[in-house]
């Protein structure tokens, strides 16, 4: 499907998020269909459960005993190389601007290496530095993984025969602390610039 000039213009005006970045790196065609063509993404049980958990945290009644800071769903929106970066940290200390936390549900295990290499936290470090002038080395980053599993049921109108539930009862978060340096944060900024250019080239190739 060829994008219209209006669809391309709308995409170019859209703020650059972690979800866009990671989607393009994982599957450019799926990224194109969602972010440029605007085709709906069918929600999976995993996505539905993740949103349910995120909503509970934002309301201050988390479904698992996670560490909550002074602000939930901290929005960052900063200029960067001719476009804007946007992100929503799950929890943030807006008094010191030096603690950022992220929550993850899912079956795939998180370990220290995966947390240390997770680009979403690095993107928060970059946006916090641009917005507040806080160097990444001064920030405490942590990620809490709340393991889930599939619970089987009769297939319904969604087409799925399972739903997601917490693996443990009661749910027990696995907590990881991690660091980010200024050099790796700036390198990630360079990666964003590179991927944005690749997006432009991909869209041009579809026109």
Note the pTM of the prediction, 2 decimals: 0.95
pLDDT, tens digit, 9 for 90 and up, residues 82-101: 999 999 999 999 999 999 99
Strand, helix or coil for residue 30: helix
Is the predicted pLDDT of residue 158 greater than 90, yes or no?
no
CA–CA dist 35, 30 (Å, integer): 9
Residue 59, both tokens:
């309301």
Q: Which pLDDT does position 62 carry in this prediction?
A: 97
Q: How do the domains of the chain map onto residue ranges? A: 43-185
The half-sphere exposure of 57 on its side-chain side, counting CA atoms within 13 A, is 28
pLDDT, tens digit, 9 for 90 and up, residues 17-57: 999 999 999 999 999 999 999 998 789 999 999 999 999 99
Strand stretches in the chain, DSSP E: 71-80, 83-92, 99-106, 140-152, 162-166, 174-178
Q: Which pLDDT does position 40 carry in this prediction?
A: 83
Degrees, nearest 5: CA angle 141-143-144: 145
């Amino acid at each position: 499907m060829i994008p219209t000039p209006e669809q391309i213009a709308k995409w170019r005006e859209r703020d650059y998020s972690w979800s866009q970045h990671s989607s393009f790196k994982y599957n450019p065609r799926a990224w194109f269909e969602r972010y440029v063509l605007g085709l709906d993404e069918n929600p999976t049980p995993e996505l539905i459960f993740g949103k349910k958990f995120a909503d509970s945290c934002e309301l201050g009644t988390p479904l698992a005993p996670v560490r909550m800071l002074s602000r939930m769903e901290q929005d960052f929106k900063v200029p960067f190389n001719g476009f804007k970066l946007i992100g929503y940290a799950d929890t943030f200390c807006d008094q010191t601007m030096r603690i950022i936390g992220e929550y993850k549900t899912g079956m795939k295990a998180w370990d220290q290496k995966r947390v240390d290499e997770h680009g979403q936290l690095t993107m928060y470090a970059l946006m916090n530095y641009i917005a507040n002038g806080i160097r990444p080395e001064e920030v405490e980053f942590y990620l809490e993984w709340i393991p889930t599993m599939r619970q089987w049921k009769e297939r319904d109108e969604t087409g799925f025969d399972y739903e997601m539930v917490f693996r443990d009862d009661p749910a027990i978060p696995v907590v990881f602390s991690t660091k980010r340096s200024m050099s790796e944060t700036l390198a990630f900024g360079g990666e964003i610039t590179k991927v944005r250019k690749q997006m432009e080239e991909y869209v041009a190739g579809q026109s």
